């Protein structure tokens, strides 16, 4: 690992003045710098501007990244334990297989970044933007996610035990085979609970052949949703068929839009008064497009689908 003297030489060779290095003034844009395998422990990066640089395999433990810009940079396989990232921009950066335990990410932008296989346990993510990022196979145990934006992110095969998700948005995210035991949510947390009643019968709306099939999800039906408003059920009754403008259709039967992709024994026709049951219903709620009757609770959403 490069020592601080070697790091100093690299910074000088990049054109940074001794005075700026002495005062730790990296506010001017520095791009495409190779600082891989370096010891930056307890280093102050606040107000820095290192865009599109290589910090791979480095030690940033106990460092300060506040109010900095490291967009499009590579930090993979690095140690960030007990670091401060508040109010910083790391958009489209690579943090794969890194250690972020006990770090503070609050009020920062990590949009479209790669965090696969990293350890974020006991960290603070409050009020941050992680949209479109990949957190698969990561550890987030005992972390604070309050009021953060994780829309469209991948959290598959990750550990979220005993974490706080109050006020955060996880819509369109992937939580396949993730562990949420002991986690805290509230009425403003979106995407972590199913969006249909968990028990009893209720009305749903399904779009088929540019018509709306009004269905009753049966009381004994299995039901689920992933991280959007689209739901699935194992057993439904067809009540009526409507046109998109809410008028009653003259049809008494309509085929599924997906019959062309199904074998003959799997094809579905929605006939008024009939009950349809899917025997091989996928009970993993995060497999949104898997087996089951897909529907919406809100008619307008079905019309717009």
Q: What percent of the chain has pLDDT over 90?
A: 64
Q: Give the phi and the psi of residue 225 in degrees, each rounded to 5.
A: -150, 160
Question: What pLDDT was estimated at residue 125?
Answer: 86
Q: Which has the higher per-residue pLDDT, 33 or 74?
A: 74
The pTM assigned to this predicted structure is 0.75
Residue 76 contacts by C-beta under 8 Å, 6 or more apart in sequence? 56, 57, 94, 95, 96, 97, 98, 114
CA distance 205 to 212: 6
Question: What pLDDT was estimated at residue 267?
Answer: 86
Question: What pLDDT was estimated at residue 305?
Answer: 92
Q: 12 falls in which pLDDT band (50, 70, 90)? A: confident
The mean pLDDT of 89-95, rounded to a whole number, is: 94
Each residue's pLDDT tens digit, 233-267? 999 999 999 999 999 999 999 999 888 877 777 78
Question: What pLDDT was estimated at residue 13?
Answer: 80
Q: 138 falls in which pLDDT band (50, 70, 90)? A: very high
pLDDT of residue 152 exceeding 80, the answer is: yes
The mean pLDDT of 106-121, rounded to a whole number, is: 93
Each residue's pLDDT tens digit, 165-184? 899 998 988 888 888 889 89
Q: How many CB atoms lie within 10 A of CB 19?
A: 8
Each residue's pLDDT tens digit, 195-224? 899 999 999 999 999 999 999 999 999 999
pLDDT of residue 28 exceeding 80, the answer is: no
Average pLDDT across the chain, whole number? 91
Residue 122 contacts by C-beta under 8 Å, 6 or more apart in sequence? 101, 102, 141, 142, 143
Sequence-ordered strand ranges (E) for 116-249:
202-208, 211-217, 223-225, 231-233, 235-242
CA distance 169 to 186: 11
Question: Using CA atoms in the order 54, 55, 57, 59, what is the torsion angle rounded to 10 degrees?
Answer: 170
Question: What pLDDT was estimated at residue 180?
Answer: 84
Question: What pLDDT was estimated at residue 14?
Answer: 77
Q: Checking phi first, is residue 167 left (phi over 0); if not, alpha (psi -120 to 50) or beta?
A: left
Q: 268 falls in which pLDDT band (50, 70, 90)? A: very high
Task: Name the 3-class secondary structure at 242.
Answer: strand
Question: What pLDDT was estimated at residue 297?
Answer: 97
Q: Which has the higher per-residue pLDDT, 6 or 79?
A: 79
């Amino acid at each position: 690992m490069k020592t601080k003297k070697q790091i100093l030489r690299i910074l000088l060779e990049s054109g940074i003045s001794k005075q700026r290095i002495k005062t730790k003034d990296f506010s001017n844009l520095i791009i495409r710098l190779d600082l891989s395998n370096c010891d930056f422990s307890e280093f102050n990066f606040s107000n820095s501007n290192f865009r599109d640089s290589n910090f791979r395999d480095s030690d940033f433990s106990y460092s300060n990244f506040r109010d900095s810009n490291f967009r499009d940079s590579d930090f993979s396989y690095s140690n960030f334990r007990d670091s401060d990232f508040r109010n910083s921009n790391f958009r489209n950066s690579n943090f794969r297989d890194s250690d972020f335990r006990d770090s503070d990410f609050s009020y920062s932008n990590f949009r479209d970044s790669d965090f696969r296989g990293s350890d974020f346990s006991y960290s603070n993510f409050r009020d941050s933007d992680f949209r479109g990022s990949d957190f698969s196979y990561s550890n987030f145990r005992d972390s604070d996610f309050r009021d953060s934006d994780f829309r469209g992110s991948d959290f598959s095969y990750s550990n979220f035990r005993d974490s706080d998700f109050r006020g955060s948005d996880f819509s369109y995210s992937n939580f396949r085979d993730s562990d949420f035991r002991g986690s805290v949510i509230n009425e403003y947390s979106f995407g972590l609970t199913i969006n249909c009643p968990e028990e009893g019968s209720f009305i749903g709306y399904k779009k088929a052949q540019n018509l709306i099939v009004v269905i009753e999800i049966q009381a004994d039906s299995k039901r689920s949703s992933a991280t959007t408003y689209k739901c699935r059920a194992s057993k439904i009754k067809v009540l009526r068929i409507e046109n998109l403008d809410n008028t009653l259709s003259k049809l008494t039967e309509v085929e599924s839009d997906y019959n062309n992709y199904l074998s003959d024994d799997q094809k579905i026709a929605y006939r008024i008064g009939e009950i349809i049951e899917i025997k091989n219903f996928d009970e993993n709620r995060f497999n949104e497009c898997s087996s089951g009757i897909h529907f919406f609770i809100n008619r307008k959403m079905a019309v717009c689908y």
